[in-house]
Amino acid sequence: MLNFLVRRLLSTVPVLLIVAVIVFLMLRLTPGDPAAVLAGDAANTEQIAEIRRGLGLDKSVPEQFIIWFGKLITGDLGQSYYYKTEVTTLIGQRLEPTVSLALITITIAVLVAVPLGVLAAWRFGGWLDKSLIGFSVLGFSVPVFVLAYLLIWLVSLKLGWLPVQGYRRLGNGFGPWLTHLLLPAITLSVIYIALIARVTRASVLDTLGEDYIRTARAKGLPERKVLLRHALANAAVPIITVIGIGIALLIGGVVVTESVYAIPGLGRLTVDAVLARDFPTIQGVILLFSVVYVGINLLVDLSYVFFDPRIRY
């Protein structure tokens, strides 16, 4: 396993390098000038040119890349054009809301989706199974921002159960922290509940037709033990895989959700940086997301050994 871990870690280096090059080139080759955005509408050509020189944008693209990459390998992500702050500091300030939202979302999704998927497979063809299929289609079809505004209207404005927008840090109290994140997490978890539940249903349904399930039932084991110890345990690998994919897909979901609910996390930072053409901030956040994505995939691969002893690396 150690050799596998080393190989996977080494393989991430070229992947992250390719991501860095692509992101850098895409930002430089797309229309829009950060200097013009910073200067404002009233600025003249000379003022914009001066800002470009100050930001180093007057250099050629290869020169800009060499300077940026030289800083990157030392852990320096550069300074934000818009916020005039180190990108690492900005990311550190925005990390807690995004991590908190992601953890609550995936917790809700797993706690709801896995039992639903198991029960739907157990009652294959029944009303619960058909309801799950319908919910999955609906969950994949409704955009996150549409669901967000519907929940804000119903839960916050009509019923007054939860705050409409904003964020409270965990250091200010667990209650305010949770109440401000619960509605965004429910919004974001719907699509992952649909995804994980469908995969859980399909995987458990496959295992319920195996000989060892019939043997377990013939031995008189309670149905709960048959479902949990035999069916679910042997269907765990694809379920763990889709949970890992779901965590990685949260990267895209938090961008929309944080914008709708005014949560000052990395998703909102990304949107603001794109609008301001803030190259260093965009590059830093995307690289962080890429590292998280690769790390989650690695953890998912390693988890297979614990859920299926037949797998060896």
Tens-place pLDDT, residues 2-48: 776 777 778 878 888 888 888 888 888 777 778 887 777 777 788 88
Q: What is the tens place of the pLDDT at every residue in 51-79?
A: 888 888 888 888 888 888 888 888 888 88
pLDDT tens for 228-260 read 877 888 888 888 888 888 877 777 678 888 888
What value does the mean pLDDT take over residues 99-117? 92
Q: Which pLDDT score, from 0 to 100, does residue 311 have?
A: 66
pLDDT for the residue numbered 186: 93
Distance between CA atoms of residues 158 and 161, nearest Å? 9
Q: Which two tokens stand for residue 89?
A: 């500091």
Cα–Cα distance, 38 to 276 (Å, whole number): 8
Q: Provide long-range contacts, Cβ within 8 A and 24+ apart, for 2-5.
A: 3/313, 4/313, 5/298, 5/302, 5/313
- Which tokens hold the place of 272? 């603001």
The model's pTM is: 0.86
Enter the tokens of residue 36: 């013009």
The CATH number of domain 87-307, selected from 1.10.510.10, 3.30.300.10, 1.10.3720.10, 3.40.47.10: 1.10.3720.10
Q: Which of these, 188, 175, 83, lies nearest to 142 by C-alpha position?
A: 188
What per-residue confidence (pLDDT) applies to 1?
63
More confident residue, 4 or 118: 118
Domain boundaries, the chain: 87-307
- CA 14, CA 259: separation in Å to the nearest integer? 32
